[in-house]
Amino acid sequence: MTQIATKFVKWDIPELATLQGDKVYRLRVRLNNGGKLNREEKNWITRNVWESIYFKHGIALSGYHFDFSDVLKRYFVKQYGNIHEYYAIDKTALRSILHGRIEDIVEVTH
């Protein structure tokens, strides 16, 4: 079972249990329990990971890091002659955060 979140700050923060009502907490718990995500939730996770300034594979909330690396895939996107790296749950979720003409999307597998 994957951890729900890890503390990434040095100062005192509220207990993790106080975040149970937050969307990121609920989605991480559902994934830990083998649950499925709907399209809106996949898009939401992808957008929030993309907007994260601290982590490439997770979402920060109140001093905790919610890691989604187990469900994210690595993509290279060619757009306007440039190639950029993104992490997304799937291509559809990735397309939901991109704007403009996309020349190519390649999933990187290891």
Q: What is the pLDDT of residue 13?
A: 94
Distance CA 68, CA 5 (A): 10
Q: What is the pLDDT of residue 110?
A: 72
Q: What is the pLDDT along the chain (110 residues), one digit of tens a residue?
A: 568 999 999 999 999 999 999 999 999 999 999 999 999 999 999 999 999 988 999 999 999 999 999 999 999 999 999 999 999 999 999 999 999 999 999 999 87
Distance CA 58, CA 68 (A): 5
Q: What is the pLDDT of residue 12?
A: 94
* Residue ranges covered by each domain of the chain: 5-67, 73-108
Q: What is the pLDDT of residue 1?
A: 53
Distance CA 109, CA 40 (A): 25
Q: What is the pLDDT of residue 3?
A: 82
